[in-house]
Amino acid sequence: MDLKLRKIGNSVGIVLPKEALAHLKAEEGDTIALTETPDGYRVSQSQSDFAKTMAVMKSLSQRYRNTLRELAK
């Protein structure tokens, strides 16, 4: 699928067709991720919720390190 680059303000963007948005389960206002791969780039749903959850988990695991260590025994 070829996409045309368009000027949007001082930036350049692309317009995704409805089929691509449906596949990504994305809609206007959502954030999507562009990831570099060995074969080029990959567009996918943003994992920002997952990243936030992991940051909270890291904070909790540091705070309750001794408690978690005892529970693991």
- For residue range 5-24, what is the model confidence (pLDDT) as tens digits? 999 999 999 989 999 989 88
pLDDT band of residue 34 (cuts 50, 70, 90) is confident
Q: What percent of the chain stands above pLDDT 70? A: 97
Other C-beta atoms closer than 10 Å to the C-beta of 45 total 15
Domain ranges in the chain are: 5-72
CA distance 55 to 17: 34
Coil, strand or helix: which one is 6? Answer: strand
Q: Is 16 exposed, middle or buried (0-12, 13-18, 19+ CB in 10 A)?
A: middle
> Are the beta carbons of 1 and 15 closer than 8 angstroms?
no
- Predicted pLDDT at 10: 95
Give the predicted TM-score (pTM) of the model.
0.52
